[in-house]
Structures are given as C-alpha cells and as structure tokens.
Chain A
Amino acid sequence: MKPIISVSHIRKVYKMGELETVALDDISFEVQKGEFVAIMGPSGSGKSTLMHILGALDLPTSGDYVLDGQNVSKLSDDDLATVRNQKIGFIFQAFNLLPRTSSIKNVSLPMRYAGIPQEKREATAKKYLEMVGLGHRLYHTSNQLSGGQQQRVAIARGLVMNPAILLADEPTGNIASNQASEIMGIFQKLNDDGHTVVMITHEPDIAAHAKRVLVIKDGNIVEDKKNTKQTRAKYIANQDI
C-alpha cells in the first residue's frame, strides 16, 4: 500500500544574514493510512518546522515530501493553498477560530475557499459540529465557548474537507486538563474511524494516545517506536474516558 505521507531526506535551513540555522537536518519517514502518529521533541528540536512542512505551510530547503500521492515540495503559493485546503485538516494549539463568528461559519470557512455552495456548506458544517458534540452550539460565536468547545469547533473545521491527514499542533496545550482528555478521546475515535492523525506534542501522556511516536532531536529523528496496547490502555484508563 502506498504511504499517505512520504518524507525523504528533508532538510530545512534558515538564513539570517550570514548566519545559517539548521532546523531539520535529514528527516525521512513514512506514515500509512489510518495511523496515529505523535511527533515529540523538546523545544528547539525542529518539530514545529517539521509540522509546518507537513502542513504545506512552508517548503523544505531540500528533500521530497509526497502527501497523498502529490509531491508538494516545489509548489507555488496558490497551489500550496489548494493542498492545505483539500488534503490537510489543521488543529492549532490556539484554536485559531475567527473571532465574533459563529461556530457554523467557522467550520464552513474551508468549504468556502473550496467553492462549495452555501446550502451544502451549512449542512456539512452542521453534521460535523454534531459529530464533535456541539449540535447545540451552532450559532454561538467563538468567544462564547470554552477552550475545549473551541478546540472541538476547530476539529470539526479540520474534518469538513475530508482531508488525507489531520495535523494537530499541541492540540491540548491551551485547554484545561479535564477538557484535554475529551479532546484526546475525539482524536482516538476519529482514528478508530480510519482517519490518519499526525500530532505534534511535547507532553508524553498526550503522545501516549498515539499508536506510534517519533522523537526528534536537533533536526533528526532519534526514535521511532510503536506504543503497545498496554501503554495506551494505561494512559487512557488513567484519564477516565
């Protein structure tokens, strides 16, 4: 089976005048459809840079990144926008919802950029909001929702285009711990339904929800391990889902 993510020898160097900073040295890995991968690492390890490249927000200096059969390492800005729109569902640490805008409008936004007609947008947005348990908050604006609720709106927004991967960047970083387990429960369920999830985090107990953990240090992958069912079960039991 073809991998959904195929990263080969990716290198990213930032230039600040004369000074060159190597953020990613030589990264190669593959992710199969249906996997739940956590990318871990201390701050400064390059995991945010990797996340930007995986999210088609930035291009590698060298190396290839093939997402869902498409090589995205050398696309124009507008083509990258299309890739982000069609193939990637983003979940950010700070939720990044439009302020003073209803949940349903926020969730509809990616569909608007895809040119989907309004009636269909509203119906699809409603469906996904119900799926994340916010069927009763369709017309609440983001500042009327709790952190956990906002992140659930963001997850619904990440799902509406039926993307190849869900890319979550510290999804529980700004959320109270009791709500964090709810959010992780949603990711678990989505993964069980067949969604591919890639999650960046620095918290081991959040990473423990994933089936596979990649550890990055100084721009290289230093560890690629599978979480056993036992470790996962242990964390999940601890968190009372």
Chain B
Amino acid sequence: MKDVLELIRECFGSLTLNKLRTGLAVLGIVIGIGSVIALISLGQSSQKSIENSIQSLGSNLLTVIPGSANTGGVRGALGAGTTLTLDDALALQKDASITTIANVSPEFSRRSQVTAGANNTNTQITGVYPQYADVHKVVLETGSFVSESDVNALAKVAVLGPTAVTNLFDEGVDPLGQKIRISGQLLTVIGVTEAKGGNGFNNPDDAIYIPLSTAQKIIFGSTSLSTLSVEAKNADVMTTAQDDIGYFLLARHKIDDPASADFSIFSQNDILNTASSVTGIFTTLLGGIAAISLLVGGIGIMNIMLVTVTERTREIGLRKALGAKKNIIVTQFLTEAVILTVVGGVIGMMLGIAISFALAKIINIPFTVSPTSVLLSIGVSGGIGILFGWYPARTAAGLQPIEALRYE
C-alpha cells in the first residue's frame, strides 16, 4: 500500500515537472469528459421535461385527432382534417355500450391574437366543454371554469392561463371581470388557472379557454373539432378504450377498413414513448459527438506519453540497470497516464455538471445529472489512460538498458 502511494507521489512529481504540457494534455480529457457529461445531461433533462409536460396534460388520456381522410387519392395532413365533429363527441359520451371511458372532451383550438386594453399577445385559444378541466387536470386559481350553461348559451367568457394573464394585464390588476378581445369579440374573464410549470417549447400556462360553442360559432366559424380527448376509466383499460373509440367512430363514419380511418387515436403512452425515443436518439447522438472529442483527448495523452518516454530514456535505462523489471516500468508509465486522464476526467465532470446546470437554468428545464454518468466518466477516463498509455508504456519497458543509459 505504501509502495502504491510512493508510486503515485513519484508519478505526480514527474507530471508536475512540465506543468504547461501536462495541463494541455489534461485539457483534452477535460473537454472530452465535460462535453459528454454536459450533452448527455442536457439530453436527459429535456427528455424529462418533455415527459413531465406530457404527463401534466392528464392521465389515462387518449387523444383522437381528425385527418388522413382520403378523398380521391389526396391524403390530407394529419390533424388538419374536418372529419371529427361535436356530434361524434356527444354520441360517444352517450353510448352506453362503451364502459371503458370516463370523460369525453371535445376541443377546438387555434392560435390567435388577443388584446386587453393596450396589451396584446398571441396565444392558443381552446374551445372547451366543462369536461376539459377533469380530463386535462386543469385547476383554477381564482374564479370558475367554463360551465355547461356557458356552452349552451354561447357565453362570451374566457378562462386564462397564468402566462396569458401576465401578458395581457398589468401587475396588480385583478383579471376577473376584465374584458379581452379576440377576433373583434369582447369576452369576460371568469377564471384563472393554476400554474402547471411551463417549459419553453409548449407552455400549458400560456392558454385561453372559452366555451366550445363560442369558439366554433362566434369566433372561428368552424364546425369540426381539432381534438377529441377521452379519459379512460383507468390505466388498465387504455388499450380496450382505444379499440372501443376506434370501432365506434369507424361505424359512425361508415368506414369498413380500419386502415382508411379518417382519424387517429394516440394514447398518452404512445406520445410519451415516441417523445422518449426521439429524445433518447438525440441524447445518444449528442453523446456520440462528444465522445469524438474524448477520443481526440486520448490521442493527446498518448502523444504526450510518447514524448515523455523519449525524454526520460536515461531515467528508464537507469531504473532497468538497477533491477526494474518490464512490469515495473509499464506500471509506472501507465500510472502516469491514468493519473493524467482521471484528473482530467474529474475536472471535466465538474465542468460538465456546471455547464448542464447553467444550460438547464437558461432554457428553463429541470436539471438532472445521473450518478451513472458521473461514475462512467471516471471509469471511462481511467480506461482511456490505460488504452492510450499502454503503447508508450510498452515502448518504455522495451528499451534496452545500455541503449537507454547511453542516450543523450
């Protein structure tokens, strides 16, 4: 044990001799490990962020979107179709033979310019039924959500998300009872939703909810739905519910072949899995690119170790003359290489964590560092030391003592 410590101390002694060169060699590893950690952590953070926002949309959720209607060989864009109507939703809700679904929420949404006094913003306007709040887990901060009677009466009322409130009203103004203007129509604010914790890409807090009838008939003039959200009774019946809805709608739309359905049904798991696999590929890709810089760093270490071996030929010759066997010389130079890479790995790890922390703060996503990536970076940097230190160490050990002693 003492001998190991002495070996390590001796190696540190040799390495600190040429501080600039050692520092530059270490820098290659620092950048390599740092970028691997930062990019993987960034990838995992955005994965988590996307998963969180998908889950915050509601649990046991099935989403039906119109589209894929083949009319005369022309395939319409997904989601842009007009094949899904309010009648479909109401019929689905009423059908007693389907026991797997709990709630049906017909929705129509479109982005629009909204003004309130001198302020204006562009946000997502969603026409909803009262079920929307249950299905999507919308909780009110103040006031009330869109009610059944609001829908029946085509009431000009609106419920605002907290971001929309911030954008439309000055600080200190109570939004309840205020008027906002959408497409020339004045609507009264009747409620504000609780913040869900938004992210930069798709912020559920930046939204305005109005009665579906108001949206369709008064503001946007449309008869179709943009989505139909269905809440299944529980997580176990998700697949059955998906089939039930599918067959029900096929029957209503008089389509025999499920392959030519004019709608698509996604479960939340589908969306989650797709998003996860996309971000997973993304993370791997980023990590792979960063790994190239790690490889370059490793080659830098090998280069420095080869220079060191040449410079220290006399020392190696002396050690061999005094009785050092090949293994002892190999161990000495491998230890130096591993010290270089592990020191670089630890610094790089800290740098990587700092960078991913800063990035997570800047683009407002949760900060995650997996303990495996930390352990892995130390392991990998040690491995790089052994891999790229092996050849120089063998070169050193293979020197003949007389050649080495004679070397000037």
A residues adjacent to B (C-beta < 8 A): 52, 55, 57-58, 77-78, 81-82, 84-86, 90, 92, 96, 98-101, 109-110, 112-114, 117-118, 157, 161
Q: Which 9 A-B pairs have the closest CB atoms?
A: A85-B323, A113-B323, A78-B325, A96-B318, A110-B322, A57-B402, A81-B325, A57-B401, A118-B2
A157 to B314, CA, bound (A): 17
By a CB distance below 8 angstroms, the chain B residues around A96 are 314, 318, 321, 405
B6 adjacent to chain A (CB < 8 Å): yes
Q: Residue B394 at the A interface, CB < 8 A?
A: no
Please report which residues of chain B, range 380-408, place their CB below 8 angstroms from some CB of chain A when the two chains form the complex.
Answer: 400-402, 405
Q: A118-B3, A118-B6 are in contact. Are A110 and B323 (CB under 8 A)?
A: yes
Indicate if the CB atoms of A82 and B323 lie closer than 8 Å: yes
Residues of A within 8 A of B324 (CB): 81, 113
A212 to chain B, nearest CB (A): 25
Residue of B nearest to A52 (CB): B402
Does B354 have its Cβ within 8 Å of any Cβ on chain A? no
**B404 nearest CB neighbor, chain A only:** A57
Q: Report Cα–Cα, A212/B318, bound state, in Å.
A: 28
B312-338 interface (Cβ within 8 A of A): 314-315, 318-326, 328
Contacts of A82 in B (CB 8 A): 323, 325
Docked-complex contact A55 and B6, CB < 8 angstroms: no
A168 to B243, alpha carbons, bound, how many Å? 94
A52-B402, A84-B321, A98-B318 are known contacts. Are A77 and B3 too (CB-CB below 8 A)? Answer: no
A118 contacts across to B, CB distance below 8 A: 2-3, 6
Indicate if B13 sits at the interface (CB-CB under 8 A).
yes
Closest partner residue, chain A, to B324 (CB atom): A113
Can you name the residue of chain B whose Cβ is closest to the Cβ of A97?
B318
Instruction: Say yes or no: is B74 at the interface (Cβ < 8 Å to chain A).
Output: no
Closest to A95 in B: B318
B239 to chain A, nearest CB (A): 68
Please indicate the chain A residues that have their CB under 8 angstroms from the CB of B322 in the complex.
84-85, 90, 109-110, 113, 157
14 A-B contact pairs sorted by A residue (CB < 8 Å) = A81-B320, A81-B324, A82-B325, A85-B322, A92-B405, A98-B318, A100-B17, A109-B319, A109-B322, A112-B3, A112-B6, A113-B319, A114-B323, A118-B2
Q: Which of B290-323 contact A (CB under 8 A)?
A: 314-315, 318-323
Please report B residues at the A interface, Cβ cutoff 8 Å: 2-3, 6, 13, 17, 314-315, 318-326, 328, 400-402, 405
In the complex, A110→B3 CA distance in Å?
13
Q: Would you call A55 and B3 a contact (CB within 8 A)? A: no
Distance, CA A157 to CA B318, complexed state (A): 12
Is B405 touching A57 in the complex (CB atoms < 8 A)? Answer: yes
Give min CB distance, A21 to chain B, whole Å: 15
List, in ascending order, chain A residues with CB within 8 A of B320's CB: 81, 84
CA distance A226 to B405 in the complex (A): 32
The minimal Cβ–Cβ distance linking B21 to chain A, given in whole angstroms, is 16
Nearest CB in chain B to that of A114: its residue:
B323
Contact assessment for A86 and B323 in the assembled complex, using a CB-CB cutoff below 8 Å: yes
Residues of B within 8 A of A100 (CB): 13, 17
User: Hey, which chain B residues are within 8 Å of A113, CB to CB?
Assistant: 319, 322-325, 328
A86 to B323, CA, bound (A): 8
In the complex formed, the residue of B with least CB distance to A86 is B323
B314–A81 CB distance below 8 A: no
Q: Other CB < 8 Å A-B pairs besides A98-B315, A109-B322, 6 of them?
A: A52-B402, A78-B326, A90-B321, A110-B323, A113-B324, A118-B3
Contact B402 A58 (CB under 8 A): yes
Q: How far is the CA of A48 from the CA of B319 in the complex (A)?
A: 19
Contacts of B318 in A (CB 8 A): 96, 98
Cβ–Cβ < 8 Å partners of A57 in chain B: 321, 400-402, 405
Measured CB to CB, the closest approach of chain B to A198, in angstroms, equals: 15
> Closest residue of chain B to A169, judged by CB?
B405
Contact: A77 with B326, CB < 8 Å? yes
**A112 neighbours in B (Cβ, 8 Å):** 3, 6
Q: Which of B17, B325, B328 has the most CB of A within 10 A?
A: B325
* CB-defined contacts of B13 to chain A, threshold 8 Å: 100-101
CA distance A228 to B41 in the complex (A): 83
Within the assembled complex, what's the spacing in Å between the Cα atoms of A109 and B6?
11
In angstroms, how far is the closest chain A Cβ from the Cβ of B390? 19
Closest beta carbon of chain A to B246's beta carbon, Å: 76
Q: How far is the CB of A50 from chain B (nearest CB, A)?
A: 12
How many whole Å from B248's CB to the nearest CB in chain A? 82
C-alpha gap A110/B318 in the complex (Å): 10
Smallest beta-carbon distance A122→chain B, Å: 11
Residues of B within 8 A of A101 (CB): 13
In angstroms, Cα B400 to Cα A58, docked, is 8
Shortest CB-to-CB span from A102 to chain B, Å, is 11
Give the shortest distance, in Å, between B319 (CB) and chain A (any CB): 7
Task: With a 10 A CB-CB cut-off, give which of A82, A84, A157, A161 has the most chain B CB atoms.
Answer: A84
- Closest chain A CB from B333 CB (angstroms): 15
A189-B115 Cα distance, complex, nearest whole Å: 107
CA distance A85 to B325 in the complex (A): 10
Distance of A118 Cα from B318 Cα, bound (Å)? 21
Q: CA A114 – CA B324 in complex, angstroms?
A: 8
Instruction: Considering the complex, give the chain B residue whose CB is closest to the CB of A99.
Output: B315
Bound complex: CA A117 to CA B6 (Å): 12
List A contacts of B6 (CB < 8 A): 112, 118
B residues near A55, Cβ cutoff 8 Å? 321
* Chain A residues with CB under 8 A of B402: 52, 57-58
* Chain A residues with CB under 8 A of B326: 77-78, 81
Provide the bound-state CA to CA distance between A112 and B326, in Å.
Answer: 14
List the B side residues contacting A90 at CB < 8 Å.
Answer: 321-322
Highest count of chain A CB atoms <10 Å: which of B319, B323, B405: B323
**Cβ of A110: which chain B residues have Cβ within 8 Å of it?**
322-323
Residue among B314, B321, B401, B405 facing the most chain A CB atoms (10 A cut-off)? B321
